[in-house]
Amino acid sequence: MISYKKLFALFALALALILLWDNPLMSPFRIFVVYLHEISHALGAIVTGGAVKKLVVNLNESGYTTTVGGSFFITAISGYIGSIVFGGMMLLSSLGNHFTRLSAIFVGCLLLLFTILFPSGNNLFILLLGICWGLAFLIVGFLDGRIAKMTLFFMGGLASLYGFYDLGDFFRGNIELTDAGILAKHYVGDSFLQGVVAYAIAIGIASISIFVLLKVVKMALMNEKEVEPEEVSSDNFPFVPTDKPLSEMTAEEFILLMRAEKMNREHQAHSFPVEDRYPEK
C-alpha cells in the first residue's frame, strides 16, 4: 500500500528543488551532483576494464572525465544513468528503514576516494568542497540515523532531478557538448546524422532513467509490511538450567538463555511473571 505521507514529502521536495534550483546558495549542492556524474563516468570505465586518467569538476558546474580502455559506450552513458541510480539509491534508503547509514557512508567514501585520487586541476576550492562533502556524508552515516535519512532524502532528490536537468542541454543548443552528443560523434563523426543520433541516444537514456527512477520511487513509497507480534507463553521458551552459574554453563545452554532473554524483551507486552519464565525441572 502506498504511503501518501512519503508521496507528499517527495512532491514537496521536488517543488522546493525546482524553485530553488538557480539560487546561488544551491551551487555547492549542484557541484556535489556534478561530482556524482563524473564519478559515474569513472566507474563505467573501471567496471568495463578501463582506467581513469583525469576527473575534473569546475566552478561553473561543468566537468569531464578522461579515461583509457574499457567500453566507450558504457563509460559515456554512465554519467546520465549514474546520477539517477545514485539519486534513487539515496531516496530509497532515506524513505525505507534499511541501509540508511550504510548508504551515507558509501557515498562519503566514494566522494573522498575519487576527490583525493583525482584532484580537480589546480582549483583548491573544488578539491576542498569534494573532501568536505565526503566527510559530511561519513559523519552523518556514523553519528545519527535520522540525520542520515534527511540528508539522503534531500541529496537523493537533487541527484535525481539533476539527471534530467543535464539532458536539458539539448534544448539549450549545446548538443555537441553533451555525453549523448560526444557518443554520437564517436560513432557517426561530424556528419548530418550526429544530431539525430544524439537525440535518439538522449531519448533512450531519458526513458531508461525515468523507468529506473519510477521503480525506485514506487519501492520507496510502499509501506513496510507490519509484522504481527507472536503470542508468547512460557511454552515458547526452551528449558535453561538457570541455577547454574554462567561459568559452568555449556555454550549451548548459554545461547538458549540469551535467546530466552531476547524473546522476553521483544514481547514485553505479552510477558508473564519472571518466576514463570522457565519451566521447572
Mean pLDDT of 51-67: 88
pLDDT for the residue numbered 227: 41
Per-residue pLDDT for 22 more than 70?
Answer: yes
Residue 182, amino acid: I
Element (H, E) at 51: strand 51-57
Q: What percent of the chain has pLDDT over 70?
A: 73
Cell 568495463 locates to 48
* Banded model confidence at residue 122, pLDDT cuts 50, 70, 90: low
Per-residue model confidence (pLDDT) at position 259 = 75
Q: Which residue has the cell 560523434?
A: 185
Residue 248 has pLDDT above 60, yes or no: yes
**pLDDT above 60: residue 45:** yes
Which is more confident, 99 or 135? 135
pLDDT digits (tens, 9 = 90+) for 60-118: 888 889 999 999 989 988 888 888 889 888 888 888 767 888 999 999 999 999 998 88
Give 152-206 pLDDT, tens digit per residue.
Answer: 888 888 888 776 676 666 566 566 667 778 888 888 887 778 778 888 887 887 7
Q: How far apart are CA 83 and CA 163, in angstroms?
A: 5
Q: Measure the CA–CA gap between 198 and 135, rounded to whole angstroms.
A: 37
Mean pLDDT computed over 247-271: 66
Element (H, E) at 242: none
- What is the amino acid identity at position 111? L
d(CA 233, CA 8) in angstroms, rounded, equals 42
Asked if residue 232 has pLDDT above 50, the reply is no
Alpha helical stretches, state H, the chain? 4-20, 27-47, 72-95, 100-117, 124-143, 145-167, 179-188, 193-221, 251-266
- In this predicted structure, what is the pLDDT of residue 173? 58
> 3-7, 16-20, 30-34, 238-242: which has the highest mean pLDDT?
30-34
pTM: 0.71
More confident residue, 247 or 94: 94
Predicted confidence at residue 44, as pLDDT, reads 93
